[in-house]
Structure 1
């Protein structure tokens, strides 16, 4: 047990030292984790605020677009109601009304179709005529309508808008006025006016779109920083969890070693007490052994005396028995027969425990 205790004590010291080192590491990493957590919370607050601002910009831009989209949606819905025959009917006109001519001029301007120069009313003058080029545009009704649906409304040149402005301002270029002369041209008129309105709304929204893009890019960068901080925090927390598990193992090992050491020390203490107690009994045992050895050596003479006592001395008085017993003892010594120094009948044949019970 002493050797076992000497082996365990260094192990206990190592376990205690490892426990202290692990706890110090946990405390250090906890400080780092708290700092990282504070950084994450700060970045989350930034990201939340930037996301809110980006959403405000997006909502503001969408609000402006919503002013133009209903008219655009209505124009596109009106175009969907047209069929190829409606377009063919317009192309077949030999003497188109003014409203029809205005619509064809407008759609040619929007699509960048060059006019044809024709003689004007005054001699020697030439004017722009969009009817013939416009009829060519209407030659394939399906392709024409598809071109209107797929028109790049977000990139209309300012020159086109400037050229179409007189038509927009013309009272004759109103859907209600055009409806009196042509169903197809009414839908096309709505489309032109919707594109014109959308252009100005989109131009007003463009700075907001740019601001939104910048805000979203800034938000993405902040989110990236936030994700990196969260990853660092997760790594640190995992490390702390590992250290805490190690700390618990160290404490458990330390407590187990302490318990074993305590048990060994208690056993050693009890063993010392037992050894001390046994050492006190040693002399008594030695005396007992010596006494037993003497009894064994003297047993012949002692039993001879006792046998003679029982066989011959019973009828005599006590005093006479004692005198004869002493003479026999003296004679045995003369004959060198071993016997006890002061033999007695009770000492040789009696049971000390039973004799004590008589008292």
Structure 2
């Protein structure tokens, strides 16, 4: 012991002891001392103070060895558990990878399922639309089976009208400018001469020319009839010539039928300003009526060019109102003479229009009056049938116009356009009754 305590490297040697590799035999030898009740640092310190720390070190070494013997299996168990844990973690990562792959596959399958459901819905919708279209097509085929001839004829008519529009407008202009005062037969004869000139010049003209249709519309003629104008092509033509004249119209109106018609025609628009050619301050009255936006009718117009008539004819076609807008001056001259002799200096200012009733119109009016007195029921039945036919014709024209408009504006397929199909069905309702 003294040799050990006297060794200067004792502390170093104690620190270099491999405490984890002490054999069981060494520990059994050490037990002989550490199990001695008196082998404690305090007791040993009473005998030898240098041996006191050595005793404490031996006691600690023995305790460490015992603890090490108890902990070693646990360490081995810990290593084994860690090995198992690493294996489990590896398995977990593999399972997580498999789970992620499965989730991706599931998401893909879900997307495919949703796409299939959407596709099925589209197909169902397509089937429904196709079924509805088939039904509409069947119905439309049935509805339009007999419309082909009518529409083909109408297309042919429209094409002919389009080709002859220049000739038709030329004939209308000639009639308005020069033929208003002539009788119907004389007017037709001169128009045929003009047609010959146009054909020779290479201008296409209508095969059957109707001057009344050129100068007026059905709506305008209905308005004129409502204003007490007799429903006759000759009367309608006379009215159209009056309203279409570029120069001031001079109406030859021995029966004052034009005066009554124009008065009724302008009742709802503020009324017609009726003046006499012999009125004082005639020009002032005409300009006042023009500024009041009222048409002017001058009665008893002289058939020679007087000073007042010249001033009247020099009234501009438009006057400027107080608000700065231009107002057209509607001026109609009327004379009671049926066949006046007009000097050339007056003819250059006016467009003559004869408003005398032709003999055939007078005969028809007389027959109507007789029929109304003798058989009022037949007269009313005839009037009702005539009005019904006209209404049906207008309705059919309106339906055709609606169809053309909707076809032009249609943004969807024909079989998907309910409004257009309804127009076709309506045409079918009207068509047979007028065929």
TM over 0.5: no
TM-score interval (norm. to shorter): 0.3 to 0.5
TM-score (norm 2): 0.34
Structure with the greater alpha carbon radius of gyration: 1
TM-score (norm 1): 0.40
